[in-house]
Amino acid sequence: MTDKTLVASGKRTIEIETQALQRLGSLLDESFADACECLLETRGRVIVIGMGKSGHIARKVAATLASTGTPSFFVHPAEAGHGDMGMITHEDTVLAISNSGSTDEILALLPLIKVLGIPMISMTGNPDSPIAKSSDFHLNVGVEVEACPMGLAPTASTTTALVMGDALAIALLETRGFTSDDFAFSHPAGALGKRLLIKVSDLMYSGAQLPRVPLEMPLKKVLLEMSAKGLGITTVVDQYNNLKGVFTDGDLRRVLDANIDLNMATAADVMHADPFRIQDNKLAADALGVMEERKITALVVVDEHNHPAGVIHLHDILRAGVI
């Protein structure tokens, strides 16, 4: 095998699986809508089962359903025959995945599923298979050829099953009106959850930590306030606590370069008027976006009255894992 033949092999596999997915779209019919309606009406959980490679796909489909608003989990068919059937209740729906449609371990469960009186949706490559015919709703995920040159290793067939599972999950998500807040609840850990859950108010410096000076305060005292709070910034407010501007370490350098009389200048003379700001109920990820766009490291946080509520710093956002 040369580099050229290896690349050609990879491209051939991708092409075969791409064609299988294009064909899958043409196989989609009203049975897909029926399956979706069945899942939407399920009061319990969606129990996804599958053996071998189909089992791996079933685990992923169950995880995707669960994370997008459809309670679901995977049950191993062989283990189900040795006690795990007790995990399935009268309010559940079974989603069985089998390329051949004749997997022995799933066939052995069919009488038990019938006894429970719960619906079963099958996802097979053979509409005439025992599993397909025993199900209430069948989704055809058949392929004309596997990417494996021997036609043995499940490749294109597992891809179509995976995509069909995604299609079900997204159709259900859209029908339920699943929101980003709902998604965050299912993904509280990791960068994704932090981007969707952590708000500006969770990270901002507020109360006694908030640097704040009046318009008329002499510049020397402004510098003392900035030094005491240690954020490299202070808010400047009027007599009604309305935000009028900010003064930063960078502004101080510009003041020194301009040869302004430090003994005579006030906050109003040196502040940056109409500064960038963000409301305290926004996501920290939104604050990060403003900072990156404006190339600043600190952002004033305001309440609904445009009163300074805090200051949020870039370092604290990154330290919290919001990226």
Indicate whether 205 and 173 sit together in one domain: no
Classify residue 50: in a domain, yes or no: yes
Classify residue 189: in a domain, yes or no: no
Indicate whether 172 and 249 sit together in one domain: no
Given CA atoms 212, 217, 222, 228 in this order, what sign does their dihedral have?
negative
pLDDT at 21 (0 to 100): 95
Q: In 3D, which of 261, 304, 28 has the Cα closest to residue 160?
A: 28
Domain end, chosen from 123, 147, 178, is at 178
pLDDT at 193 (0 to 100): 65
Indicate whether 31 and 154 sit together in one domain: yes
Classify residue 184: in a domain, yes or no: no
pLDDT at 83 (0 to 100): 82
pLDDT tens-place string over residues 5-60 = 999 999 999 999 999 999 999 999 999 999 999 999 999 999 999 999 999 999 99
Residue-range definition of the domain harbouring residue 226: 200-319
CATH of the domain at 247: 3.10.580.10
Indicate whether 73 and 174 sit together in one domain: yes
CATH of the domain at 144: 3.40.50.10490
Burial 263-272 (b: 16+ CB within 10 A, else e): eebbbbebbe
Indicate whether 171 and 66 sit together in one domain: yes
Indicate whether 216 and 273 sit together in one domain: yes
Indicate whether 27 and 167 sit together in one domain: yes
22-27 contact pairs (CB < 8 A, 24+): 23/143, 23/144, 24/141, 24/160, 24/163, 24/164, 27/140, 27/141, 27/142
159 touches 21 (CB < 8 A): yes
Low-confidence stretches of the chain (pLDDT < 50) are none
Indicate whether 16 and 100 sit together in one domain: yes
Indicate whether 153 and 106 sit together in one domain: yes
**DSSP letters for 253-283:** HHHHHTT--TTT-BHHHHSEES--EEETTSB
Indicate whether 136 and 64 sit together in one domain: yes
Tokens 């029908």 identify what position?
175
Number of domains in the chain: 2
Domain end, chosen from 178, 210, 244, is at 178
87 touches 40 (CB < 8 A): no
Classify residue 194: in a domain, yes or no: no
Classify residue 90: in a domain, yes or no: yes
CA distance 276 to 238: 17
Classify residue 244: in a domain, yes or no: yes
pLDDT at 183 (0 to 100): 66
Query: Crossing angle, helix 249-257 and helix 219-229, to 10 degrees?
Result: 150
Indicate whether 150 and 252 sit together in one domain: no
Indicate whether 17 and 146 sit together in one domain: yes
Classify residue 101: in a domain, yes or no: yes
